[in-house]
Chain A
Amino acid sequence: MTQLESVQQTGLDFGELVRRHQSMVFSVCRHFLHDRDQAEDVAQEVFLGLHRNLESIQSEAHAGHWLRKVAVQRSIDAGRRRQRRPQVALADVAEPAAETAVRDPMLGETLRRLIATLPETPRMVMVLRYQEDLEPAEIGQVMEMPVATVKSHLQRSLALLREKLARRGVREERWIG
């Protein structure tokens, strides 16, 4: 145990917070940025930010909300710095085998790559909805936007993904739910 991990006032253990939330923070960054190394750097920045602000964190739940919100902001900033949006060109997205069954890793990778081609706001909305399982109202709070806008992004992104998949000969009827 380092002195960093010891907690007197808030009862929060920084090391424990890192271990508990690392997959959430890393996954938000990774699914948004579609880059493992950059996601690791950004996730580390997020936790170091938490370390600097640990005194203002009141509870475990507060830490989780704080981390998610900052992970969203830092990922968007990192994406803008990269200035290569969309990082994955649509033409580069591999076509999945059309007759394969669902939970095919190829289909999962295709979906992740298609999401990486979305503009930043709908991309982050999709990540929070399907990775974090957040309701539109919660996404609105994290991203500071009206619920109606969140719903609109979700609907348009889903329609766009369906269209792109259909164009590649992937139809939902073939999937085993």
Chain B
Amino acid sequence: MTSSPRVVERDTKTHAAPSRQLGRLDAVGYLICLGGIVRRELLRFFNQKERFFSALVRPLVWLFIFAAGFRNTLGVSIEPPYQTYVLYEVYVVPGLAVMIQLFNGMQSSLSMVYDREVGSMKVLLTSPYPRWMLLLAKLIAGVSVSIVQAYAFLAVAYFWETDIPTLGYLTALPAFLASGLMLGAIGLFLSSLVRQLENFASVMNFVIFPMFFASSALYPLWRIRESSETLYWICELNPFTHAVQLVRFALYEQLEPVSCAVVVGTTLAFFAMAVIAYDPGRGLMARRGGPAGEAS
């Protein structure tokens, strides 16, 4: 039961009152804005329990079934960061954790396309903060969700003799942050290209699967080199490989500088492209046609 709108008779001599906004446009205001965007993303994530479980089930199926099946077929020899011969399950864990972030980055991109269709993107973009700040906040929000998912996976994988040193869980956090930002930035850029939700299937086919399979997530690159030099170089140039390697080394308390540089560089490049794409003056938004009936 709801009451009818309240109509209050009050002093009416307030016309042309000076600005009386509650918000602030400084750095503190922006941090409040960032906090609000991250909170909304986490609320949406925890509200969608099936999304949480499907994000978790996918890598666990790979770990428990695929990795167990291939354990004897795909022996992995000693290579950094591992100091001894490792089981296939141990090798595959970092790749699967970053796979969660890959799917999450694309999921965020999907949700941005959805937001644009249902209009909540408009609400975000009418915030008074500069557009790049809003996109950065959106990116950080997506990464926060992906880190929660990645650690939930590592928590379950812990009971599967994954052999990760305790401190490694901590040293991996910045690596997860970096790889999440990179994959989120790629997703953000893609979201500006994908006009309709239905086109998202092609993102799966042309982005997620090639990135995942042509990488060091499931097999070490020297194995790939044995079969094809070209394929090896494709994997070497794939930024996802470097995201996986960065996390893999960080989980064993080491820094892989080349991967770190590739991940940071790729993040900056894709974020810059996303900012241009979402700029109302220069970007793709304005050229993508107007509202129904008003554009040809």
A binds B: no
Interface residues of B, Cβ cutoff 8 Å to A = none
